[in-house]
Structure 1
Amino acid sequence: MPASDDLRVPVARPRRVLVAGLSGAGKTTLARRLATLLDLPHTELDALHHGASWVPRPQFLDDVRALADSPAWVTEWQYSAARPVLAARADLLVWLDHPYPVALARLVRRTVRRRVRREVLWNGNVEGPLREVLTDPEHVVRYQWTHRRKYRDDLVPRLRRERPGLPVVRLGGDRDVERWLAGLASGLERR
C-alpha cells in the first residue's frame, strides 16, 4: 500500500482504535496520545493480561470481550487470543511499523531502565534479571527478535483479508506518527 494511502486521516471519528506494532515500538505511548486526542478511554492490554508473578490472569479474555463490547476505547493489538476479539469491533488499526533497529533500541532501553529502577509494572511485577535475555526464550527482547516480521508478513495481511473495510494506518517512523497525529487533530478541529 502506498505511503499516501497509509497516512490518510479517517473520514469518520473512530470510537474503537487498535494500535499494533512490535514490543518497544511505542504502542502504549501512541494509544495514550490517541485516547487523549480522541477523548476516549485507554485500556492497557498488558494490565489485563499479566497477573502477579507474570502469570496470565484467568479472566483476561473475559475482560477483553467486555472491553471490545464497550462503545469506545483505545488499546494495543496484541496477544493472539485477544486480537480477533478486538479486531472484530475496531473502527481503526494504527500500525507502528518502525525500522527494526529503532524498535529494538527502544525496547532494550526500556527494559534496562525498568530493571535498574525496579519499576513496578502490572499487578506488582518487575522486570527480571537482564541475564534472562540469554536464558529465557520468552524474554521480551528475544520475543521481539523472534516475532520481528509477524505484523508485516502475517497479522496485518490476514486482518486486511478478514476485515477489508477496516482502515489500517501504517506509520513507518516518528515523523509519520507526528504528521498523522497533526492531521488527525486538524481534522477533528474542523468537525
Structure 2
Amino acid sequence: MRRISVVGTSGSGKSTLAGEIARRLGIPHIELDAIHHQAGWTPMPAPEFRAAVAERIAGDTWVVDGNYRTKLGDLVWRRADTVVWFDLPRSLVMRQIVTRTVGRAVTRRELWNGNREAWRDMFSRDPARSVIRWAWTTHATNRARHLAAQEDPAYGDVTFVRLDSRRAVAEFLDGLDGQATSG
C-alpha cells in the first residue's frame, strides 16, 4: 500500500483513519475537505480543485480522504493502489457525527480556511448546509456506490478494504505496523 484512498459517509471517521494510516506508514495525508472548502465554506471551483488534487497525488505515496468522486471523477482512484472503505452502520455514523458536530459548534473549532461548524446549519433541513442531514441522506447511496465499485472491472488493479466496525479498523491498523515506507 503506497497510494491509498479512504472513503466513507461523512462522520464515519475517514479523516481520523486516514491520518492514522499516514502516520503509521510514514506517508503524506491529503484531506480533500481542506482543499475543497475555501473561506466561508465556498467550494473551490471544480477545475481548480482537480488541479490542486492532481498536484498533491502526483507523488509515489499518499493517503487521501474524501468522497469527491462527482467533482474529481476517477482522478484519485486511477492513481490509488488501495481503497479503504470505512463502512460503519448508519446508527453509529449518526451518533458520531452529531457528537462531533455539536462539539465543534460549542468549541468554535476552526476546521479549514477559517470555517467553523454553525449551530444554525446543524438544524437545517438542507443537506448542503447540515453535515448531519448530509450523512443521513448519503449513507445508503455511498454504500451502494462502493459495493458496485468493488465489482467494477475498471478497478481490477485496486485492492478494496472494507472496514465495517471499530474492531475491523483496529485489526487493519495493527496490520500496518512495521510497513512504513519511504517516498
Fold match, TM over 0.5?
yes
SS of 1:168's equivalent in the other structure is strand
Task: State which drifts further: 62-71 or 30-39.
Answer: 62-71
For the pair 1:112 / 2:102, whether they are aligned, the reply is yes
Counterpart of 1:122? 112
Which of 151, 155, 163 is residue 163 of structure 1 equivalent to? 155
Q: Is this contact kept in 2: 1:68–1:86, CA < 8 A? A: yes
Structure 1 unaligned residues grouped into runs of 5+: 1-13
Counterpart of 1:33? 20
1:142 partner amino acid: R
Aligned-residue Cα RMSD (Å) equals 1.7
For the pair 1:51 / 2:38, whether they are aligned, the reply is yes
Counterpart of 1:142? 133
Show CA shifts across 1:126-175 (max 9, x none): 11224652343311111111111123212341354121221100011100
Runs of 4+ in 1 over 6 A off after TM superposition: none
Residues 67 and 131 of structure 1, relative CA distance in 2, 3 Å threshold = closer
Counterpart of 1:151? 142
Counterpart of 1:97? 87
Residues 135 and 157 of structure 1, relative CA distance in 2, 3 Å threshold = closer
Show CA shifts across 1:1-25 (max 9, x none): xxxxxxxxxxxxx111111111111
Separation in 1 of the partners of 2:97 and 2:66? 17
Q: Is this contact kept in 2: 1:18–1:76, CA < 8 A? A: yes
Counterpart of 2:175? 183
Q: Is this contact kept in 2: 1:115–1:130, CA < 8 A? A: no
Percent identical pairs in the alignment equals 37
Q: CA deviation at 1:64?
A: 1.0
Separation in 2 of the partners of 1:132 and 1:94? 28
Q: CA deviation at 1:180?
A: 1.4
SS of 2:20's equivalent in the other structure is helix
Q: Is this contact kept in 2: 1:112–1:130, CA < 8 A? A: no
Counterpart of 2:78? 88
Task: State which drifts further: 135-144 or 36-45.
Answer: 135-144
Counterpart of 2:165? 173
Counterpart of 2:57? 68
Separation in 2 of the partners of 1:100 and 1:141? 11
Separation in 2 of the partners of 1:152 and 1:61? 24
Aligned residues: 175
Separation in 2 of the partners of 1:173 and 1:103? 11
Higher strand share: 2
Separation in 1 of the partners of 2:44 and 2:20? 27
SS of 2:119's equivalent in the other structure is coil
